[in-house]
Amino acid sequence: MASSQSGHADYCNPALYEATRRHVEQAVTLPPDSYRDEEFYRVERQRVWARSWVAVGYECQVPNAGDCITVEVADQPLFVLRDRSGGLRAFYNVCRHRGSRLLKQHGNCKVIRCPYHGWGYSLEGQLLGTPYFKGLDVPAGMAEKFAIADGVAEDFCKDDYPLLAVRCERWAGIIFVNLDDAAMPLAEWLGDLPQRYARHPLAELKLVRRRDYRIGANWKLIAENFMEYYHLPWGHPELCNISGFDNHWRYQGPGMYCGMCTSPLSDDPNTLTVDLPPFTELTYTESKSAYFVHLFPNISLWIFPHHFLTLLFRPSGPATTLEHVDMLVHPDVLTRPGIDESLDRIMKFWCFVNDQDVELVEGVQAGVAARAYRGGRLCYRFEEPIHRFQNMLIDLMT
Ligand code: FES
């Protein structure tokens, strides 16, 4: 194995991935250290997470000027807010004075006020006020008390200390950030997804249910589990009643995603009844199909004809992941009689399916701890999306 000077395997060396780079029918899965090793996790954070378009939330979470959410990407504290002109902005969650965290949690603010010494920033990131600092903002008659005349910061100009901005873009109502100023635009990252889902009103949907998971598995195992249906007969017999094993198809185009679909969906009232109307602009085929898209690195989309489910996750260690299961629906359905019971019932079923997946991926995490395991083989019919995903990861790692 290629080693770095520090004694670790050199996880940026293309030679390490030669077996995974082969055509899918000959390929071996990623080196098992990718799922368990601290050093791999450290390098991956810099090479993958700090250079990708990472999903962090939804536009509907910040509908009004000043609404903000705190998020974390590649261990970096950030926040996203709605500015006064209705745009989205992302900033590092750090004050330009002595580095305090600015925002502790989601909320709404007219200005962003540092809790430490009160510096204030506009919603556009401009430094507005620095109380008592260099005599600025000192109430009349207080200058002597604060010894301003002989204690000033020299050559200090507020314009030199705006909030530190991060790239922030949106698609389908999802907010993405990218720590890398040189990364490709989000539109290029998405490939043909905007065209594929042009008739699904994803950007209009509202987040109506969320369940949080702490999963004892590497984030890549969660993504890989999502994008193959080989495990359905054994892992999800109930799901097969509505998303038939033999009704799955590849659904792939250009872009940083791995897709498949179920067409047509099956009706089985004993398994799940979705009493929501289908989106109005769909083609006949779309109104009978579900699309499953994992958008690299961290959001899995379940696009149904009448609702939208996502797995939004981030790694919290080499073998642990924090995940939200989120359900979004069109606001028009929220006034329907009995809607809360309907949403609860639908969400309960998807969490039941997700609970099954969590048990499976935690089982894989336990298994890949075995040093004797050197990686496995892939089957084109079911696991080509995993091969595609692993090659995306290698592209960024190397
Ligand atoms: Fe923010 Fe001092 S650290 S005002």
92-141 pLDDT, tens per residue? Answer: 999 999 999 999 989 999 999 999 999 999 999 999 988 877 655 556 66
Q: What does the pLDDT look like over 186-232, one tens digit per residue?
A: 999 999 999 999 999 999 999 999 999 999 999 999 999 999 988 88
Question: Is the minimum distance from the CB of 98 to ligand 1 under 6 angstroms?
Answer: yes
159-178 tens-digit pLDDT: 999 999 999 999 999 999 99
The residue type at 387: H
pTM: 0.93
pLDDT tens per residue across span 323-367: 999 999 999 999 999 999 999 999 999 999 999 999 999 999 999
Distance 70 CA to ligand 1 centre (A): 18
Q: Tell me the HSE value of 156 on the side-chain side, using a 13 A CA sphere.
A: 16
Looking at ligand 1, which atom is closest to the CA of residue 98? Answer: 3
Does 97 contact ligand 1 (Cβ within 6 A)? yes
What DSSP element (H or E) covers 165?
strand 165-171
Per-residue pLDDT at 100? 98
Query: What tokens does 229 get?
Result: 């249906």
What is the C-alpha to C-alpha distance for residues 262 and 260, in angstroms, rounded to an integer?
7
CA 101 to chain centre: 22
- 321 touches 310 (CB < 8 A): no
pLDDT band at 60 (very low <50, low <70, confident <90, very high): very high
User: Is the distance from the beta carbon of residue 114 to the nearest atom of ligand 1 less than 6 Å?
Assistant: yes
User: How do the domains of the chain map onto residue ranges?
Assistant: 54-167, 192-397
Fold classification of 192-397 (topology level): Naphthalene 1,2-dioxygenase Alpha Subunit; Chain A, domain 1 (3.90.380)
For residue 98, report the distance from its CA to the centre of ligand 1, in Å: 5
Q: Which CATH number fits domain 54-167: 1.20.1090.10, 3.20.80.10, 2.102.10.10, 3.40.50.300?
A: 2.102.10.10
| Residue 100 Cβ < 6 Å to ligand 1 | yes
